[in-house]
Amino acid sequence: MDISEILSTRFTEFDIGAPLSKVAGAFENQELDAVVVTDGDEYRGLVSRRQLASSSNQPSAKVGSQVQHVPTVDRTEDVREVARLMIGSDAKTLPVLDGDQVFGVVTGDAVLEAVRPFLDAATVEDAYTSDLISATPETTIGKALNLLREAGIAHLPVVDGPELAGMLSLYDVIEFTTRGGTKSQGGSSGDFGGRGRGGGRNRSGAGAREGDSDRMLDIPVRNLMSDEVATVKRSAPLDTVVATMFEREISSLVVTDDDTGAPIGIITKTDVIDALTWERDDRNAVQVFGLDLLEGMNYDDVAALIEGMTSKYGEMTLIKASIELKERTEQTRGVPLVEARIRLTTDRGYFTADGEGYGAAHALRLAANAVERQLLKGKTYGQSKKRPSDDEQTELYGWWLGG
């Protein structure tokens, strides 16, 4: 299945020197999935609605300060490869090229809509993140913001004893603090470019602190959270998850135990997209984006580096690794500055780190050193997911493998 039938032409172009205020106005006044940033006739990257909303830059800042350098795809690209690129680049909107020109964009929502009929072969248990990171109703906004940032998540369930009390999104916290304490409505961060916020009603009370910037971060979460939280049982099929997300215009569901109903985890649109990238071939558990930037190293060298790194730290099974290399414009003595990002999913948790150096090999080793330090300290960013069995993968991916 390729993306030719699901790509969107709802984008507009801005030069890299355009002020962010004009870009914000375009999102406000048009039905856009993304803004394409160019430098003359040259494509430079994208800016998404959520990325702009989360920005703390001044409106007079240039759009070049917010541009996201994401992979480009061909209009006949396979939808599963697009899912891989989205997860590897941490971007849920990718530009679609026709020759050297941007022809359209493909969104994570469009990918999920396309594969939704086939997702009944997998369940929430295959994809959700366990060991729920949560707050209490009395947790302060400041502490909640730290939890969101440190864990690298966008949704924070609020738990009151054994009960699920609400949901707080990173989007809501950022909007609340940047607007000087004005309480927003809704609870979804819309991380796939959707315009609907959804998520339910918010409790009242935050408005009394409007403008009091010194005390905003001390406000309890109960005054900002959405008090209607969508849940799903661990045994539910993934097509039900996606249908609920689209129907309610939200991007995450709290996972509950089938027997007790207690909250045990969370599943997001990103988790479902990630489930589409599992490989049946163990060799491809290591995915490398930007391999052409490496000189003196090939795929096998990178795979050996990752596998050797994880094998040093006790009983740890590598489920999946994603390595992304991006070349920057800065150079020294003809060697480009490269950013390397490593993400590891293991049976002991999720690890991620960046490295920046002159030359891809140097950047990769710096990122690997940073991940090794995390492994040594046992510092994880969320728990790993259960890898589907061979039979489950065959059923789930049969429609791809069959063409």
Write out pLDDT tens, residues 302-318. 888 888 887 777 667 77
Residues 234 and 343 in one domain: no
Residues 316 and 269 in one domain: no
User: At residue 176, what is the residue type?
Assistant: F
End-of-domain residue from the set 275, 290, 306: 275
pLDDT at 56: 60
Residue 192: inside a domain: yes
pLDDT at 140: 93
For residue 370, what is the domain's CATH number?
3.30.160.100
Q: For 126-137, write each residue's pLDDT tens digit.
A: 888 877 788 999
Residue 237: inside a domain: yes
Average pLDDT of the residues in 82-88: 83
End-of-domain residue from the set 75, 107, 139: 107
Query: Total domain count for the chain?
Result: 3
Residue 169: inside a domain: yes
Residue 317: inside a domain: yes
End-of-domain residue from the set 226, 252, 275: 275
Selected residue with higher pLDDT from 322 and 179: 322
Residue 100: CB atoms within 10 A of its CB come to 9
Question: Of 124-138, 144-158, 205-219, 314-328, where does mean pLDDT reach its minimum?
Answer: 205-219
Question: Which residues constitute the domain of residue 314?
Answer: 282-377
Residue 93: CB atoms within 10 A of its CB come to 26
Residues 87 and 30 in one domain: yes
Average pLDDT of the residues in 143-162: 84
Q: For 247-287, write each residue's pLDDT tens digit.
A: 988 888 999 988 888 888 889 898 899 888 765 444 456 77
Residues 86 and 137 in one domain: no
Question: From CA 74, how far away is CA 39, in angstroms rounded?
Answer: 21
Question: From CA 87, how far away is CA 17, in angstroms rounded?
Answer: 29
Burial class, 217, CB count within 10 angstroms (exposed 0-12 / middle 13-18 / buried 19+): middle
Question: Of 80-94, 164-178, 367-381, where does mean pLDDT reach its minimum?
Answer: 367-381
pLDDT at 194: 34
Average pLDDT of the residues in 340-353: 78
Which residues have CB under 8 Å from 50's CB, separation 6+? 171, 189, 190, 191, 193
pLDDT of residue 102 exceeding 80: yes
Residues 263 and 154 in one domain: yes
Residues 236 and 310 in one domain: no
Average pLDDT of the residues in 129-153: 85
Confidence of residue 13 (pLDDT cuts 50, 70, 90): very high
Look at the alpha carbons of 171, 173, 176, 178 in this order and tell me if their dihedral is positive or negative. Answer: negative
Residue 95: inside a domain: yes
Closest listed residue to residue 281, CA positions, set 313, 320, 248, 249: 320
pLDDT of residue 203 exceeding 70: no
- Give per-residue burial for 254-286: e unless 16+ CB within 10 Å, then b: bbbeeeeeebbbbbbbbbbbbbbbbeeeeeebb
Residues 98 and 160 in one domain: no
Residues 265 and 288 in one domain: no
pLDDT at 212: 54
Q: Phi/psi of residue 206, each to 5°?
A: -70, -25
Question: From CA 370, how far away is CA 379, in angstroms rounded?
Answer: 11
Question: From CA 254, how far away is CA 249, in angstroms rounded?
Answer: 15
Which CA distances in Å does 100 have to 74, 76, 191, 346, 377?
10, 15, 28, 38, 46
Residues 223 and 335 in one domain: no
Question: Of 31-35, 49-53, 208-212, where does mean pLDDT reach its minimum?
Answer: 208-212
pLDDT at 193: 33
Residues 261 and 288 in one domain: no
Question: From CA 240, how far away is CA 149, in angstroms rounded?
Answer: 29
Question: From CA 336, how far away is CA 366, in angstroms rounded?
Answer: 15
Residues 251 and 148 in one domain: yes
Q: Which of 147-151, 194-198, 334-338, 358-362 has the highest mean pLDDT?
A: 358-362
With a pLDDT cut of 90, the percent of the chain lying above it is 18
pLDDT of residue 352 exceeding 50: yes
pLDDT of residue 392 exceeding 70: no
Which residues have CB under 8 Å from 210's CB, separation 6+? 180, 181, 182
Half-sphere exposure at residue 158, Cβ-oriented, CA atoms within 13 angstroms: 27
Residue 253: inside a domain: yes
For residue 209, what is the domain's CATH number?
3.10.580.10
Question: Of 5-14, 277-286, 362-371, where does mean pLDDT reach its minimum?
Answer: 277-286
Q: Which of 107-111, 167-171, 397-401 has the highest mean pLDDT?
A: 107-111
Tokens of 90: 């941490």
Residue 395: inside a domain: no
Residues 289 and 344 in one domain: yes
Which residues have CB under 8 Å from 25's CB, separation 6+? none
Which H/E stretch holds residue 147? helix 141-151
Residue 112: inside a domain: no
pLDDT of residue 385 exceeding 60: no
**Radius of gyration in angstroms for the set of CA atoms belonging to the chain, rounded to a whole number:** 21
Kindly list the strands in the beta sheet with 34-39, ordered across the sheet, starting from the edge strand earlier in the chain. 11-15, 34-39, 42-47
pLDDT of residue 290 exceeding 90: no
Average pLDDT of the residues in 99-109: 88
C-beta of residue 7 within 8 angstroms of C-beta of residue 94: no
Average pLDDT of the residues in 338-354: 80
